[in-house]
Structure 1
Amino acid sequence: MELRQLRYFVAIVDHGSLSRAATVLHVAQPALTQQLRQLEEELGAQLLHRSAQGVLSTDAGKVFYEHAQAILKQVADAKSAVTQSAERPSGSVTLGLPHSISGALALPLLSAARAQFPEITLQLTEELTGNLAEQLKSGRVNLAVLFDDGQLSPFVCTPLVEEELRFICRAGSSWAEGRTSVTLEQALAAQLILPGPQHGVRPRIESVARSAGLATANVIEINSIAILKSAILADMGATILPVAPVLAEIERGAMVALPIEQPAISRTVVLCGSKNIPLTNAGAAVSRLACQVAADLCHSHYWLGARLL
């Protein structure tokens, strides 16, 4: 198996056809077809379904595509680590952010990276927490912001902030009428709209509830932050989230966020890297910058509900 075969295969999948991939790669289509056939023979599996409309990955092809992407990224990172300067780091760095964190951290970090490290290409990807952990293990992302759930031993972790979760509902909703705070029991008794278990916030809520002898019930599960916000604005229920994803709605008075007491709920936000795949100079620079940006956001109170660790 050769690296060029991996590059060819990834290009075919990305462009959806052999002809378009051949044009982009500047390779004759018969040669591309031959390399793909050799790859499939070596793997003993069909990777692509071919049709007049283009190509689609088989189940085996989808699995191989993920690994091929990770391998090619690690090769590019290895080349970058050898050539780049520690004083002027350059190259590409991919940082994964959970949906509920990106609203607070993404734009400030991107702006800081462009100002301080113009030769670094910072790629931000927004994903479910579970997906980010898998991508970090495989090397598809260099860094990821995750939540300390006691299962981060495969990673090198740097604590960023302790982030408070609040009871959030539409302004004027009966769920918040006459209240300046709610107990956890009162919050769990409401019609809750929550992300699914694969989101980092949901396991934390379930864990704190169990410790208090309580449980969630009658939950509407919505995994899209945009749809979840629409459901809250329609007064279909309330949610338990950090403030950052709904900050704009709170600032314009469309939503309210009440502190939760007896007990309060918070989560530890950490920056993670792989223990097995070393960071390039560019990756290390972005890691340090992310810590500094998080600290600045806490000191300026821009990241509401977050306490610097």
Structure 2
Amino acid sequence: MELRQLRYFVAIMDHGSLSRAALVLHVAQPALTQQLRQLEEELGAQLLHRSAQGVSATDAGRLFYQHALAILKQVADARAAVAQSTGRPSGSVTLGLPHSISGALALPLLTAARARYPEITLQLTEEISGNLIEQLKSGRLNLAVLFDDGQPGQFAATPLVEEDLMFICRSGSALAPAGAAVSLRDALASHLILPAQQQGVRPQIEQVARAAGLSLENIIEINSIAILRSALLADIGATLLPLAPLLADVQAGTLRAWPVHSPQVARKVTLCASKNIPLTNAAGAIGRLVREVTEELCAAGNWPGARLAH
């Protein structure tokens, strides 16, 4: 198996046809077809379905595509690590952010990266945390912001912030607490909309609830912040989330937020990297910048509900 075969296969997948991939790669189509056939023979599996409309991936093809992307990225990172100097890092860095973090961190980080490291191309990807974990394991991400649920870490992790979870619902909702705060017991007894198990804040809520002798029942599971927000505005239920991803609605008065007590619930946000894949100088520089930007946001009060973790 050769790297060019991986590049050819990825190009065919990305462009949806052999002819378009051949044009982009500046390779004759018969030669491209031959390389694809050799790759399939070596793997012992058909990777693509061919038709007059183009190509589509088989199940084996979709699986191999993810591995090919990860391998090509690691090769590019290795070349960049050798070529770049520590004084002037350059190259491409891919950072993964959960949906509920990107609103607070993405734009300030992009602005700081452009000013500090103009020769680094910072690529941000926004996913649910479970997808970020898999991409970081495979090497498709250099870095990812993840949540620490207290379990032994499989990544090299640097603490960033702790965020308090708030009880949030539509203004004027019948679910709104009567007081200035709400107990965790009462919050869990409400109609809650939360991410699915093992996603986002859910593991932390489950862990704190078990320790307090409480349980979660009748949960509506939504993994998208945008859809969850729409459900809150439609008064389908309430949620337990940090303030940041819904701050604009809370400030506008369409949503309201209450602190949770007895006990409080907070999540720890960490910056993670693979223990097995070395960081390039550029990725290391972006990692340090993430920590700097986080400190500045907290000091200025621009990451509501967050405090620096130690």
Category of TM-score, reference length = shorter chain: over 0.9
Runs of 4+ with deviation above 4 angstroms: none
Deviation per CA, 1:155-195: give whole Å up to 9, x if none. Answer: 11100001111100011212225321100001001111111
What is the Cα deviation at residue 216 of structure 1? Answer: 1.0
What is the Cα deviation at residue 261 of structure 1? Answer: 0.2
Distance 1:87 1:291, change over 3 A: same
The 2-side partners of 1:151 and 1:190 are apart by 28
Aligned residue number for residue 117 of structure 1:
117
- 3-state SS in 2 of match to 1:294: helix
Aligned length: 309
The 2-side partners of 1:246 and 1:17 are apart by 42
Distance 1:271 1:133, change over 3 A: same
Alignment of 1:159-308 (within 5 A): 159-308=159-308
- Is 2:6 the partner of 1:2? no
Aligned residue number for residue 91 of structure 2:
91
The 2-side partners of 1:28 and 1:150 are apart by 54
Aligned residue number for residue 35 of structure 2:
35
- Is 2:160 the partner of 1:147? no
Matched to 1:24, the amino acid is V
The 2-side partners of 1:151 and 1:218 are apart by 26
The 2-side partners of 1:260 and 1:46 are apart by 54
Name whichever of 143-152 and 165-174 sits farther off.
143-152
The 1-side partners of 2:199 and 2:284 are apart by 27
The 2-side partners of 1:76 and 1:40 are apart by 24
Deviation per CA, 1:197-223: give whole Å up to 9, x if none. Answer: 141211111111111111111111112
- 3-state SS in 2 of match to 1:269: strand
- 3-state SS in 2 of match to 1:86: coil
Aligned residue number for residue 11 of structure 2:
11
Distance 1:152 1:40, change over 3 A: farther
The share of aligned pairs that are identical, in percent, is 71
The 2-side partners of 1:119 and 1:188 are apart by 48
Deviation per CA, 1:105-126: give whole Å up to 9, x if none. Answer: 1111111101111110000001
Aligned residue number for residue 45 of structure 2:
45
The 1-side partners of 2:109 and 2:85 are apart by 22
- 3-state SS in 2 of match to 1:30: helix
What is the Cα deviation at residue 150 of structure 1? Answer: 3.3
Could you list the runs of 5+ residues in structure 2 that have no partner in the other structure?
Answer: none
Deviation per CA, 1:268-302: give whole Å up to 9, x if none. Answer: 10000011111111000000000011111111111
The 1-side partners of 2:53 and 2:261 are apart by 58
Aligned residue number for residue 75 of structure 2:
75
Deviation per CA, 1:68-90: give whole Å up to 9, x if none. Answer: 00000001001111111211111
The 2-side partners of 1:154 and 1:218 are apart by 32
- 3-state SS in 2 of match to 1:130: helix
What is the Cα deviation at residue 152 of structure 1? Answer: 5.2
The 1-side partners of 2:255 and 2:63 are apart by 42
Q: TM-score, normalised by structure 2?
A: 0.98
What is the Cα deviation at residue 153 of structure 1? Answer: 2.5
Matched to 2:297, the amino acid is L
The 2-side partners of 1:170 and 1:61 are apart by 45
What is the Cα deviation at residue 35 of structure 1? Answer: 0.1
Distance 1:94 1:14, change over 3 A: same
Distance 1:200 1:177, change over 3 A: closer
The 2-side partners of 1:60 and 1:259 are apart by 48
The 2-side partners of 1:308 and 1:118 are apart by 27
- 3-state SS in 1 of match to 2:165: strand
Q: TM-score, normalised by structure 1?
A: 0.98
